[in-house]
Amino acid sequence: MKEFIDNWKIVLLLCLTLGLAPFFPEPHIWGKLKWIAGGATGMGAQDWFDVVLHGFPFILLLRLVIQTTFNNKKH
């Protein structure tokens, strides 16, 4: 499992597919983030689950960026 979440290609693929799907009229995660920024009025459990589901690939990407940055500074 560690090889899977440390693979840049897989994480980027997840961000571009699951993270942004559906793509039209705007990426789903972008709409949810705008909704949260607007106060999250009327958001139900399903909407919060959508935020976690579509946001998780980006969390993995952020983790990889931080991990790579700190590992490179140690050397």
d(CA 18, CA 60): 12
Q: Which residues contact 50 (CB under 8 A, 6 or more apart)?
A: 28, 32
**How far lies 25's CA from each of 20, 35, 40, 47, 67, in Å?**
11, 15, 20, 17, 34
Strand, helix or coil for residue 4: helix
> For position 48, what pLDDT does the model report?
95
> For position 74, what pLDDT does the model report?
63
d(CA 28, CA 51): 9
Q: How confident is the model at residue 75 (pLDDT cuts 50, 70, 90)?
A: low
Of 73 and 47, the structure prediction assigns the larger pLDDT to 47
